[in-house]
Amino acid sequence: MKDTFKHRGMRNKLAQVLIDKGIGNKTVLDAIRDIPRHLFMDSSFEGHAYQDKAFPIAANQTISQPYTVAFQTELLALEGGMKVLEIGTGSGYQTAVLLKCKAKVYTIERQLELFKKTNLFFKKMGYRPKKAIFGDGYKGLPDEAPFDRIIVTAGAPEVPKALLSQLKVGGRLVIPVGFEEQIMTLYVRTSEKEFEKTEYGSFKFVPLLEDKN
């Protein structure tokens, strides 16, 4: 499959849909306009790639809805060169958006099949996360901590303490919290011991699974 003018046109329309839904961050919108989302999905679903919808990928997982990706990335308030931990690599689309925003990305996936598939795809496409790890993101990545930003792209029943502890002071964690539905939640670490929590709208994610490797 290739990336063509037609795909570019569809991405511009998708970016407009996201603007209409309230996304305003120019870097994030440019990433949406730039990244060939259809290549992150099976070719037979190409027609769905530029609708604002989540879609099934391998191993019973989903590629997040573009609005969700844009909303979470906007909440991160990234500045160039930040060290970002992503939990739930999945298709790699969110990873690519973070890379376009000039983040240094550490990403963790617990499904071996997806981990392998997505890493081959990263190589083929020239996307270069600092580290892509097969493992349980519930524990974060203590060896590389602290992080400027942490993003969780699966629904967490509660906020993993390990992730809060791996944030820099001033750092931000964006995580959907809940079971059937999740509330998008932002934690800002205001001091060594304090966090400021803000809740946003409700979303639907596949579950963040603990200790199931």
Give the residue numbers marked as catalytic.
Answer: 64
Assess 64 for contact with ligand SAH (CB under 6 A): yes
The reply on whether position 98 binds ligand SAH by CB under 6 A is no
Closer residue to ligand SAH, CB minimum distance, 41 or 167? 41
State how far the Cα of 61 lies from the Cα of 57, in Å rounded to an integer.
Answer: 6
> Judged by CB under 6 A, which of 25, 119, 153, 182 binds ligand SAH?
153
Give the nearest distance from C-beta 138 to ligand SAH in angstroms: 5
Burial 139-167 (b: 16+ CB within 10 A, else e): bbbeeebbbbbbbbbbbbeebbeebbebb
- Alpha helical stretches, state H, 35-92: 66-76
Of 89, 96, 92, which Cα lies nearest the Cα of 28? 96
Task: Give the residue, chosen from 61, 119, 182, 185, that forms a contact with ligand SAH under the rule CB under 6 A.
Answer: 61
Residue 144 to residue 106: CA distance in whole angstroms: 9
Q: Does 91 bind ligand SAH (CB under 6 A)?
A: yes
Binding site for ligand SAH (CB under 6 A): 61-64, 87-88, 90-91, 93-94, 108-111, 114, 136-138, 153-154, 206, 208-210
